[in-house]
């Protein structure tokens, strides 16, 4: 007897959408300031290099997950680290790794939520308490993440097209206000600045390791590489465009005095025909979509991590999502000032990228040393 | 999410009622003055009593069903004519519209015969000319000897649809469906003669989903006329028509239509399964069935499409969907349905592709306006006034200067009064309807503004919203968006654009989660299918749509010759 269409798995395009919407998020409005402060116009190529580095990390993680199709990270990491005779050892060894993943995700989501609240309060909803904005955002985030990863992927897929129009707007601003001279002079930095710039630009790529969780649900993990790499290219183009526009409009000296440089870029736009006087509220709305998809992807990844680590039943998902959102809220209100908040988000972003670098390298190393013993079971998997 | 909330509410309500009643019983116990332990025992007893009561009720119901079965189920036709006539007359309770005509068959004068039909349900001309007349006068010239019953059936009853049976239940069901019963004395069988023919509305232009170019025929209330309208357009031997009956008392006939080899069999099976599970006393409209078989009961969005147009049904059947015809209503159900198809008109495929693509963009725009414009107005006025161009902002402020209410009150009052107007003009008889419109326009449009109850811009916003919500070929999809407008307005008044966006994100989550008979509701956008996007916002010319949409999993993908290549 034939069956109705099942809930479905994550298609390659959905994988692309997930990665793009996860990485592009709250950082877009802030990072030109840091990058310009550390490296000036040289941020352009530093951004490019860090983009290449993260693309390489994504490549590593994708390769790792491709070796274990349809298996979640909580299944294959113990297998790599432990032995067949004592599966408990593997799970024991992988526990700190999982904890680290969880901490980094929840931390990033908390910082995202807080930063979003700060921007909202400073730019649009001046009289609304930030706790209320964060609370509603966390509540809605919990509702969304109490759904299965397949639905989260479809959600990201649906929302992705809304992220494209602001690119046009930013282009518009550059044409109206930009000055190419602001992009010069290049190659004026020393190695120390390059390093610090690199760290700052790397931190903006936080969130790439959600693919470790979501790849377990991919329809064709073999085709994931293409969609992930193209997602990274799109993200790089988006970030470069944002940085270039902010730099060309304000110049490297003015940019460091702006709290939210990208928002200022948008404020420069004058729409001909006079339909809207200023578009920053509209852009903030789109940016909210980007932020929200980052929150749901990372919170959803944490929820799925817990579910699969403890092999919980499906109906616990909403409670875990609720608990995760509560943690996010209470961590989010911890930073006392915006400056501290930005420091924290920088560190969490770095932690995220650091794990993204260390985890695949470690696991690949162990795999190599053990002669692919952990991956032996993959032959038992049905070919996809 | 809505489902969980309503579940929760239901649960809470049940709990509260339980508590209320238990409190009651406790009070009773207290009055009598027994201690707590006895209360517990009595509570336990009570639950036992509940169970006994339930069991008793079940038994009564079973017995009633058995009685009904006994009354008609196993009874077979008796040999005596009188007994049969009496039985049927008694079963129908001496009904006034039951016509019984007894006569003598002239070939054998000792044998009487009877014809029974229900006045108004059976076509009297057919009964008179082709049943009564040959049986009463034609048999006189009968020379051959033989079984009179067989002769009657074979030569004298001149009707296409004749059935002999000895089961009383079948006979009575046929009688109630407009057929004529023929009994002959001495035979323990009855003949059912197909004489269905009641007065009905003719095939008319459908009132909903009007088109400028395209067929003008619409379905009627008659099931057979409707299936014929479809058959005439789809002369395919693979068209399957399954007859089903729903409704324990109304015995409403349904026809499930699909094209074998095109439609996904799983959908057909699932449809039959869900219809089988319906147990209701009456089905008066396809809406009953729709609510009972749809995937998500709590969604504001329609998950099954209905249409009055046979051409639309054929088009959907060809895309691999299933159509369900219900007797007594011109509205035919089509499943599975996706969100986008509620914004398509059949005309999109008859008009040239540029025109129809333009119209689809227009409908998308009107969807956004109908859903969001009042909310955006409220958000802009209360929170984001910097976005409004300066000159316009000044004009708006001048317009709003005398208005004593905040914009949300203004908006809700106006929107609700427009809804009231709409409802009033729908229900009123034809000539009065437009009058209401004029009065409403005058009162709400002019007087309210000059009395400074609302600002002029609000009137424009409300007018635009209402008109936009009608720029949609499907009424039930339009009304669901009109419902969502109100929570969006409230969100806009509390949190501005941020609130609107939060609610929209929730609505999108709900839409993305929905499925209709296994098909994701937002397909082909999420999950994205490039090949199906050819018939979405843009309708490409027919030569490029060589395949059926993949989202409905058709068994035969090819629509045109040369559909093998990937275009």
> What tens digit of pLDDT does each residue of B330-350 get?
999 998 999 999 989 888 899
Q: Which of B512, B520, B536, B537 is the best substitution to test chain A (most A C-beta atoms within 10 A)? A: B512
| B5: pLDDT strictly greater than 60 | no
User: What is the residue-wise DSSP string for B153-207?
Assistant: IIII---S-EEEE-BHHHHHHHHHTT-EEEEETT-S-EEEE--B----PPP---S
Nearest residue of A to residue B390, measured between CA atoms: A277
φ/ψ (deg, to 5) at B296: -130, 115
- Supply the pLDDT for residue A296: 92
User: What average pLDDT is seen over chain B?
Assistant: 83
Is A135 inside a domain boundary?
Answer: yes
Confidence at B31, pLDDT banded by 50, 70, 90: very low
Residues of B in contact with A13 (CB under 8 A): 527-528
Region B545-564: mean pLDDT is 80
Residue A10 region, left (φ>0) first, then alpha (ψ -120 to 50), else beta?
A: beta
> What span, in angstroms and rounded, lies between the C-alpha atoms of A66 and B200?
66
Region B249-270: mean pLDDT is 92
Is A239 inside a domain boundary?
Answer: yes
pLDDT tens, A47-78? 999 999 999 999 988 988 888 888 888 888 88
Is A7 inside a domain boundary?
Answer: no
At B6, list the tokens.
């309503």
Residue A64: count of CB within 10 angstroms of its CB: 23
| A161 and A232 Cβ atoms separated by less than 8 Å | no
Q: Which of A5, A295, A314 is the best substitution to test chain B (most B C-beta atoms within 10 A)? A: A5
| B40: pLDDT strictly greater than 70 | no
> What span, in angstroms and rounded, lies between the C-alpha atoms of B231 and B365?
36
Q: What percent of chain B has pLDDT over 70?
A: 87
- Supply the pLDDT for residue B71: 61
Domain with A41, as residue range(s), is 12-371
Nearest to B357 by CA among B157, B106, B542, B147: B542
| B511: pLDDT strictly greater than 90 | yes
Is A157 inside a domain boundary?
Answer: yes
pLDDT tens, A7-20? 678 888 999 999 99
| B309: pLDDT strictly greater than 80 | yes
| B567: pLDDT strictly greater than 80 | no
Confidence at A109, pLDDT banded by 50, 70, 90: very high
Residues of B in contact with A138 (CB under 8 A): none
- Supply the pLDDT for residue B140: 63
Region B257-284: mean pLDDT is 91
Is A219 inside a domain boundary?
Answer: yes
> What span, in angstroms and rounded, lies between the C-alpha atoms of A172 and B396?
29
pLDDT tens, A351-368? 888 888 888 888 888 888
Is A5 inside a domain boundary?
Answer: no
| B482 and B423 Cβ atoms separated by less than 8 Å | no
Residue A8 region, left (φ>0) first, then alpha (ψ -120 to 50), else beta?
A: left
How far CA B352 is from CA of B63, B361, B471, in Å, comes to 63, 15, 19
Is A81 inside a domain boundary?
Answer: yes
Looking up residue A236, the CATH number of its domain turns out to be 1.20.1740.10
- Supply the pLDDT for residue A378: 45
Nearest to B514 by CA among B306, B301, B272: B301
Residues of B in contact with A11 (CB under 8 A): 527-528
H or E stretch covering A313? none
Q: What does DSSP assign to residue B16?
A: H
Q: What does DSSP assign to residue B256?
A: E
Confidence at A384, pLDDT banded by 50, 70, 90: very low
pLDDT tens, B367-406? 999 999 999 999 988 888 877 778 888 888 888 888 888 8
- Cβ A159–B267 below 8 Å, yes or no? no
Confidence at B144, pLDDT banded by 50, 70, 90: low
The total number of structural domains in chain A stands at 1
> Chain A contact for B387, CB < 8 A?
yes
Helix (H, G, I), strand (E, B), or coil: what is residue B351? Answer: coil
Helix (H, G, I), strand (E, B), or coil: what is residue A87? Answer: helix
Is A257 inside a domain boundary?
Answer: yes
- Supply the pLDDT for residue B72: 57
């Amino acid at each position: 007897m034939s069956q109705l269409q099942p809930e479905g798995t994550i298609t390659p395009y959905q994988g692309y959408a997930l990665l793009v919407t996860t990485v592009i998020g709250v950082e877009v409005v802030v990072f030109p300031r840091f990058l310009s402060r550390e490296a000036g116009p040289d941020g352009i190529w530093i951004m490019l290099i860090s983009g290449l580095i993260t693309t390489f990390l994504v490549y590593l993680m994708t390769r790792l997950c491709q070796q274990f199709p349809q298996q979640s990270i909580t299944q294959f990491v113990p297998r790599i680290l432990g032995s067949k005779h004592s599966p408990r050892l593997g799970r024991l060894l992988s526990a700190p790794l999982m904890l680290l993943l969880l901490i980094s995700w929840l931390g990033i989501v908390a910082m995202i939520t807080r930063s979003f609240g700060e921007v909202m309060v400073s730019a649009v909803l001046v009289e609304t308490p930030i706790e209320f904005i964060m609370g509603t955002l966390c509540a809605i985030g919990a509702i969304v993440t109490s759904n299965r990863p397949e639905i989260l992927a479809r959600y990201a897929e649906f929302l992705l097209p809304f992220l494209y129009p602001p690119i046009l707007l930013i282009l518009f601003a550059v044409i109206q206000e930009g000055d190419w001279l602001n992009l010069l002079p290049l190659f004026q930095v020393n190695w120390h600045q390059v390093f610090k710039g690199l760290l700052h630009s790397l931190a903006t790529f936080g969130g790439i390791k959600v693919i470790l969780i979501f790849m377990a649900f991919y329809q064709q993990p073999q085709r994931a590489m293409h969609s992930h790499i193209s997602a990274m290219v799109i993200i790089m183009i988006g970030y470069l465009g944002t940085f270039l526009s902010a730099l060309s409009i304000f110049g490297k000296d003015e940019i460091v005095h702006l709290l939210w440089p990208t928002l200022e870029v948008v404020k420069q736009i004058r729409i001909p025909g006079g339909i809207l006087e200023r578009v920053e509220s509209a852009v903030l709305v789109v940016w909210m979509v980007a932020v929200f998809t980052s929150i749901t992807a990372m919170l959803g990844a944490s929820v799925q991590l817990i579910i699969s680590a403890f092999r919980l039943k499906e109906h616990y998902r909403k409670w875990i999502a609720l608990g995760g959102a509560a943690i996010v809220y209470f961590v989010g209100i911890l930073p006392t000032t915006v400056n501290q908040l930005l420091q924290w988000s920088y560190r969490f972003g770095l932690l995220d990228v650091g794990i993204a670098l260390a985890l695949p390298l470690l696991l690949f190393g162990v795999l190599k040393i053990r002669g692919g013993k952990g991956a032996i079971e993959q032959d038992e998997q049905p070919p996809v | 999410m809505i489902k969980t909330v309503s579940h929760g509410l239901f649960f809470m309500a049940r709990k509260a009622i339980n508590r209320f009643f238990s409190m009651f019983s406790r009070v009773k116990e207290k009055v009598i003055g027994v201690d707590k332990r006895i209360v517990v025992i009595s509570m336990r007893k009570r639950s036992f009593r509940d169970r006994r009561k339930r069991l008793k009720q079940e038994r009564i119901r079973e017995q009633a069903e058995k009685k009904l079965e006994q009354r008609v189920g196993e009874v077979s036709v008796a040999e005596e004519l009188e007994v049969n006539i009496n039985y049927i007359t008694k079963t129908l309770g001496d009904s006034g519209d039951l016509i019984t005509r007894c006569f003598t068959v002239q070939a054998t004068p000792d044998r009487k015969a009877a014809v029974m039909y229900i006045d108004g349900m059976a076509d009297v001309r057919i009964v008179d000319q082709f049943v009564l007349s040959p049986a009463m006068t034609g048999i006189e010239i009968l020379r051959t000897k033989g079984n009179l019953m067989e002769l009657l059936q074979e030569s004298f009853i001149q009707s296409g649809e004749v059935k002999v049976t000895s089961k009383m239940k079948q006979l009575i069901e046929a009688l109630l469906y407009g057929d004529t019963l023929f009994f002959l004395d001495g035979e323990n069988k009855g003949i059912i003669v197909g004489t269905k023919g009641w007065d009905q509305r003719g095939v008319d232009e459908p009132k909903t989903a009007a088109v400028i170019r395209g067929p003008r025929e619409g379905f009627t209330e008659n099931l057979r006329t409707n299936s014929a309208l479809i058959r005439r357009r789809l002369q395919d031997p693979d068209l399957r028509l399954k007859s089903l009956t729903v409704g324990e008392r109304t015995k409403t006939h349904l026809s499930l239509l699909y094209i074998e080899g095109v439609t996904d069999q799983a959908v057909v099976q699932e449809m039959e399964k869900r219809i089988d599970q319906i147990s209701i006393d009456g089905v008066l409209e396809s809406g009953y069935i729709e609510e009972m078989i749809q995937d998500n009961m709590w969604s504001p969005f329609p998950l099954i499409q209905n249409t009055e147009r046979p051409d639309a049904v054929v088009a959907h059947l060809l895309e691999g969907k299933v159509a369900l015809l219900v007797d007594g209503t011109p509205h035919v159900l089509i499943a599975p349905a996706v969100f986008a198809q509620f914004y398509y008109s059949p005309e999109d495929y008859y008009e040239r592709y540029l025109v129809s693509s333009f119209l689809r963009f227009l409908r998308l725009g009107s969807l956004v306006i109908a859903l969001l414009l009042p909310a955006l107005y409220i958000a802009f006025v209360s929170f984001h006034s910097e976005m409004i161009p300066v000159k316009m902002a000044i004009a708006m402020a001048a317009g709003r200067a005398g208005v004593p209410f905040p914009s949300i009150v203004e908006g809700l009052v106006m929107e609700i009064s427009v809804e009231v107007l709409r409802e009033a003009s729908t229900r009123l008889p034809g000539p009065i309807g437009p009058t209401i419109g004029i009065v409403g326009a005058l009162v709400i449009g002019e007087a309210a503004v000059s009395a400074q109850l609302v600002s002029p811009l609000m009137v424009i916003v409300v007018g635009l919203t209402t008109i936009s919500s009608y720029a949609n070929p499907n009424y039930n999809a339009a009304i669901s968006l009109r419902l969502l407008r109100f929570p969006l307005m409230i969100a806009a008044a509390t949190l501005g654009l941020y609130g609107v966006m939060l609610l929209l994100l929730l609505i999108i989550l709900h839409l993305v989660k929905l499925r209709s008979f296994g098909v994701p509701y937002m397909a082909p956008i999420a999950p994205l299918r490039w090949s199906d996007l050819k018939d979405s916002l843009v309708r490409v010319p027919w030569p490029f749509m060589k395949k059926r949409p993949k989202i409905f999993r058709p068994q035969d993908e090819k629509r045109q010759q040369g559909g093998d290549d990937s275009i």
